Amino acid sequence: MAAISFARGAPAPECLPVQELADCARAALERDGTAVLLYGPGGGYGPLREWIAERHGVEPSRVVITNGSLQGFVFLSEQLVKPGTRVFVEAPTYDRPLKILSRLGADIVALPMDDEGLIPEELERALDAGEKPAFVYTIPTFQNPSGRTMSEERRRRVAGIAGERGVLVLEDDPYGLVRYEGEAPPLLFDLEGGVNVAYSSSFSKTVAPGVRVGYFVFPAELAAKIEALAVSTYISPPFLTQATVHEFLRRGNFEPNLERVRGLLRARRDAMLEALERNLPADASFTRPEGGYFVWIDFPSGPDVDELFTAAEEAGVLLVKGTDFFPRGQGGERSARLAFSYVSPAEIGEGVERLGALLGAAAPSAL
Ligand SMILES: Cc1ncc(COP(=O)(O)O)c(C=O)c1O
């Protein structure tokens, strides 16, 4: 029995525009081969940088394109974090940044969140309680891992706090465009004016993760420092994939492809919510994201997540433990992240049924 993976935060293979990217790679080389095949600016392929800059209303020099946005997160952290430096994160938050920050010895401060996202009062309380953090890391839209989206009212307050207190906020937004329904709230970056808020996004979820094209919009001075770090790390990034993405955009493939991807993933999100509704015990709860890849489940009277993980693995279902998404593993003991992005709707139904049996079996009173 092949395992059903709710662990992979990756697009289903049919989301990948393989043939179009093959054509774009050839066209990019034929059109601009010399620039693509030489060393060049550490901050990324000029025409793509300009496209991103225009989209965000900034000078191209403020845009740094990195090998996936995670690489940019590493650069930013290396630039700003020394052992003991405070960094604020949402709890829960994306596990890879937690690992990067731990490796650098950061003092990671967990900010509680609820269904409306990061709680502004908690941010203020943490700011009052100690040294100014190097930055506040937030994923306000379709958060990894919870699927939650910060409300517009909260966004205005967080943007206000960033401005008033002069605190750098990193708005990580790889999923914002992968929206299945509803209105997109404004970006923190736009609300604040891009002075104290840096913005990152990626073509991983809108084109393909394998192109490894992510980007940051930084305040000007920070952009220059991060670009210098990029140069000293790899001289220049791989322009071929960046130029391929640029060609994809130039041809007008981006929007139709995104619409196609939204359709494929909306069906998976629907299958996941419907299956959870049907199979989870009554006292379990789950988030209902309007986009992105993830659903977060809480099972207060179920097994702890280590037991669930092992039992699920034996039953052929993979998930990620809630504890992986909290600093020092403190939290999420009865929670898990389920990615609906990679598997088919039929596999989602089957996998959730298996999970439901495990959770139900451990919580007979809830049945
Ligand atoms: C919130 C968040 N930020 C950043 C990334 C990294 O994306 P990239 O592929 O651009 O490195 C991911 C990937 O899953 C993510 O979920």
Counted domains in the chain: 2
Q: Is 130 exposed, middle or buried (0-12, 13-18, 19+ CB in 10 A)?
A: exposed
Per-residue confidence band for 211, with pLDDT thresholds at 50, 70 and 90: very high
Pair (276, 213) in one structural domain: no
Which of 224, 250, 276 is where one domain is finished? 250
Domain contains 65: yes
57 and 179, same structural domain?
A: yes
Domain boundary pick from 230, 250, 270: 250
Per-residue model confidence as pLDDT tens digits over 162-187: 999 999 999 999 999 999 999 999 99
State whether 220 and 269 are in the same domain: no
Among 78-92, 137-151, 237-251, 352-366, the least confident range: 352-366
CA-CA distance, 292 to 272, in Å (whole number)?
13
Give the pTM. Answer: 0.96
- What spacing in Å lies between the alpha carbon of 361 and ligand 1's midpoint? 35
Ligand 1 pocket mutation, candidates 93, 99, 141, 172, criterion most atoms within 8 A of CB: 172
Mutate to test the pocket of ligand 1, among 77, 90, 94, 199 (most ligand atoms within 8 A of CB): 94
Q: What's the CATH code of the domain at 178? A: 3.40.640.10
Structure tokens at 4: 């059903």
- 297 and 174 part of one domain: no
Residue 263 confidence (pLDDT): 98
Nearest CA to ligand 1 atom 1: 144
> Tokens 């999100």 — which residue?
269
Per-residue pLDDT band at 366 (split at 50, 70, 90):
very low
Containing H/E element for 216? strand 213-217
| 304-312: average pLDDT | 96
21 belongs to a structural domain? no
Q: Give the span between the Cα atoms of 194 and 190, in whole angstroms.
A: 6
Instruction: Tell me the CATH number at 350.
Output: 3.90.1150.10
Q: Say whether pLDDT at 189 is over 80.
A: yes
Separation between Cα atoms, residue 143 and residue 283, nearest integer Å: 23
Within-domain flag for 171: yes
Q: How confident is the model at residue 367 (pLDDT cuts 50, 70, 90)?
A: very low
C-alpha 241/C-alpha 132 separation (Å) is 38
Residue 56 has pLDDT above 80, yes or no: yes
Q: Determine the pLDDT at residue 41.
A: 97
Residue 90: in which H helix or E strand, if any?
strand 86-91
Q: Which atom of ligand 1 is nearest to the CA of 9?
A: 14
The predicted model gives 62-89 an average pLDDT of 98
159 and 305 inside one domain: no
Note whether 91 and 223 are same-domain residues: yes
Q: What average pLDDT does the chain have?
A: 96
User: What is the radius of gyration, based on Cα positions, of the chain?
Assistant: 21
The answer to whether residue 23 sits within a structural domain is no
Enclosing domain of residue 129: 34-250
Residue 363 above 70 pLDDT?
no
pLDDT recorded at residue 302: 83
Atom nearest to 293 CA in ligand 1 = 16
Question: Is 20 part of a structural domain of the chain?
Answer: no
Atom 6 of ligand 1, nearest CA residue: 70
320 Cβ inside 6 Å of ligand 1: no
Predicted confidence (pLDDT) at residue 365 exceeds the cutoff of 80: no
pLDDT at residue number 362: 54
The CA 10 to ligand 1 mean position distance, Å, reads 10
27, part of any domain: no
User: What pLDDT score was predicted for residue 1?
Assistant: 66
The pLDDT assigned to 14 comes to 97
